[in-house]
């Protein structure tokens, strides 16, 4: 499984990558530090899932989601500290796979794992 992790925070990218490797040990992970670079990496690497922050320079997470949706890509997971109810509802209405609050935790990764694998995390242990 191939992930593209897009976040302007190097610390957040590192923490998120560690969780992805823990739950998806065979996954490959590509990185981008802003939405513009994220779109370029998407076109180059063709990931199975994109995990992106909302608040990023150059191209916002919301605009990037719109661009990816126009490319008929739906496996988008938003990982953001911006958890205002209205923003969250607007982003979820765009048809993303999941909206997860930062920071990642084992609990949220188990939920994400279940969404990606279509099963419960407990069933795979």
Q: What is the pLDDT of residue 125?
A: 40
Counting residues of the chain whose pLDDT is more than 90, the rounded percentage is 58
pTM (2 decimals)? Answer: 0.88
Rounded to whole angstroms, how far apart are CA atoms 73 and 69? 5
By CB atoms closer than 10 A (0-12, 13-18, 19+), residue 43 is: exposed
Predicted confidence band at 119 (pLDDT cuts at 50, 70, 90)?
low
Tens digits of residue pLDDT in 63-111: 999 999 999 999 999 998 867 888 889 989 999 988 988 888 899 898 8
pLDDT of residue 115: 86
- Look at residue 50 and give its three-state secondary structure: strand
Q: What is the pLDDT of residues 23-57, one digit of tens each?
A: 999 999 999 999 999 999 999 999 999 999 988 88
- Three-state SS at 97: coil
What is the chain's mean pLDDT, rounded?
89
Question: What structural domains and CATH numbers belong to the chain?
Answer: 2-124 (3.40.50.2300)
């Amino acid at each position: 499984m191939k992930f593209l992790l897009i976040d302007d925070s190097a610390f957040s990218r590192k923490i998120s990558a560690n969780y992805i490797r823990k739950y998806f040990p065979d996954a490959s992970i590509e990185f981008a530090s802003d939405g513009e670079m994220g779109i370029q990496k998407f076109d180059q690497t063709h990931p199975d899932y994109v995990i992106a922050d909302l608040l990023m320079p150059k191209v916002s997470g919301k605009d990037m989601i719109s661009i990816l949706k126009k490319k008929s890509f739906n496996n988008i997971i938003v990982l953001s500290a911006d958890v205002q109810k209205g923003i969250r509802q607007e982003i979820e209405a765009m048809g993303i796979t999941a909206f997860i609050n930062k920071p990642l935790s084992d609990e949220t990764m188990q939920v994400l794992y279940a969404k990606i694998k279509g099963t419960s995390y407990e069933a795979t242990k």
